[in-house]
A and B are shown apart, each in its own frame.
Chain A
């Protein structure tokens, strides 16, 4: 650790940077996750600071790797955006009940208002549904402090702990003092057999569930007595219960009010909330997203006022909190629309979309830069559901549509998305082929472009761009028995790309067409990484 002076110095950090710094200070053995706005910078910064960080093919795998680290008695940080937790939900619900030896912190970065997401789900619901204790920082200092506390709580109660952040907490820079929370040093790596605690066959899973509920009751009592919650004594006429960044808006909108600011929002300190509500004339909950705190309070018989339904949508702000407090539900001023993002000039996806449009394809699309193909001038993508859905949705369309229309259906997804959750879709395509065949187009631009040029298993480079094993899409498709597999550069050879797609659409067989051309923004860096890695192998 650095000198005391450095430790006490303030720095201006984003919430993501603060989590990375805390992970370093806590001696986290491994940070793993899948890139997704607004969580991506956590692992990138952990790597820059000297921590061991890696990208997993998807969030489910990342969480499973994290579970293994915690089984070995070490500390793991698993990061993802909110929708990533849907992918990791399967291990989440069961690991919640498993006894851990080390620490497992699951970071969910939610995106209320959808700056860059397909939905605005509120992942506080996951903590409740899975029974995973949850901390919610409201600025970068708390992001630092709560990461350390989450590790401490995880080890003390031997359960995973969720750290729930939102876009503004992840990306806003606020001051951080290091060393504000001290926790024990990590223990040595070790493994002991413990079948009943870790092997969730029904006979062992039943007592494990009982254990979890007992632990949650203990943690609720701890949260009541000494949890990271803050009481700010102000006027007795207005009391505000809040958490996360909503607290910052509320504090500015109503500086005179009393506040119960909750840092640990599952399990909740309901007795404190009850006492607080009783201590003020008007008690209102200010929260961003779903009425999670409101519902919990009301279920416990605590009379609290809730924000009108319209404030459930989008991000909150100081202005919106002022409206909530005055009960103003008049139409909010419309924002002047800015310039929307678009596919870069020279982007290889442009060539691909122009041709798919020309061929009048029905395009089952997916998530990435190429989602922008739905906008003018292309308007050439017909669906976007979740990562990897292009293949399944395309197959379903082919099964249901009459042959003449079915023949126009193509599934389109990017390289990172294909690895994330397209591979099982490809297996489905081979296993249950539609009568008209199917065409899968992988737009391989050599990077996870939309989130900011992260590596993935298809690039053959690790998070820090070092050489590693590479998943070769064409080899994979051929090994699965796909009869027609092509690799074409759609910018250099647009005519060949068009003819290939056309001929694939016209035969009742399975085809995989890989449109391979590096992302224009990443091409220079990719060349530099390749050169560097070649020199090292030579």
Chain B
């Protein structure tokens, strides 16, 4: 990995699991021994407003927020939040959005965040086992099966 950190922004609306998805991603990168910083603003998000969470990882990370125009990946869970966050994406950056997933195939709608992580995982240098382990660490046991399935659906969709 180069000395520049990898920048991921995850965005959506309150209640969609933006923070859960960024926790899982940060956990995967941290478990790989990388320097990780993650930033999100709490407080008003429960009122259904826009939520975005920045995750940065690499050999050495300074700012916890991704500078505008420098996100390598922008993963958006609510379609109407794409334009709100587009400016953070680097010109060469990759946008990951719900239209890439057949939502009717998901075991439940709530796991769309994890399905999109499945797509993201294809572009990051972490083994699938590391993702599985992080999913299990960050979710209650009764949700494991549904989320592991959604993650696989996301990975399959991303390979198309």
Contact = CB atoms under 8 A, between A and B. Distances in A.
Interface of A: 10, 12, 37-38, 41, 115-116, 139, 167-168, 171-175, 245, 248-249, 251-252, 317-319, 333, 335-344, 369, 372, 450-452, 521
B77 to A, nearest CB: 13
Interface stretch (B35-43, B97-105, B109-117, B149-157): B35-43
20 contacts: A10-B30, A12-B26, A37-B43, A38-B41, A38-B42, A171-B40, A172-B39, A173-B26, A174-B61, A248-B64, A252-B63, A252-B67, A318-B62, A333-B68, A339-B50, A341-B44, A342-B49, A344-B47, A451-B43, A452-B46
Contacts of A317: 63, 65, 67-68
Nearest to A246: B63
Contacts of A167: 41
Given A172-B38, A252-B63, A317-B67, A338 B47 contact: no
B63 A318 contact: yes
Interface residues of B, number: 37
Contacts of A341: 14, 44-49
B134 to A, nearest CB: 11
Which DSSP category, helix, strand, loop or mixed, fits chain A's interface? loop
Contact of A338 (B36, B68, B84): B84
A171 B39 CA distance: 6
Contacts of A173: 26, 36-39, 64
Nearest to B50: A338
A107 B149 CA distance: 44
Nearest to A111: B43
Given A252-B62, A452-B43, 13 more contacts: A12-B27, A12-B38, A38-B43, A116-B43, A171-B41, A172-B38, A172-B39, A252-B63, A317-B67, A317-B68, A319-B67, A337-B84, A452-B46
Contact of A172 (B30, B37, B43, B49): B37
A333 B69 CA distance: 11
Contact of B30 (A175, A252, A340): A175
Contact of A339 (B13, B37, B46): B13
Contacts of B81: 338-339
Contacts of A344: 47-48
Nearest to B55: A173
A172 B38 CA distance: 5
Contacts of A171: 39-42
Contacts of B38: 12, 172-174
A374 B35 CA distance: 43
Interface string B58-92: 00011111011100000000001101111100000
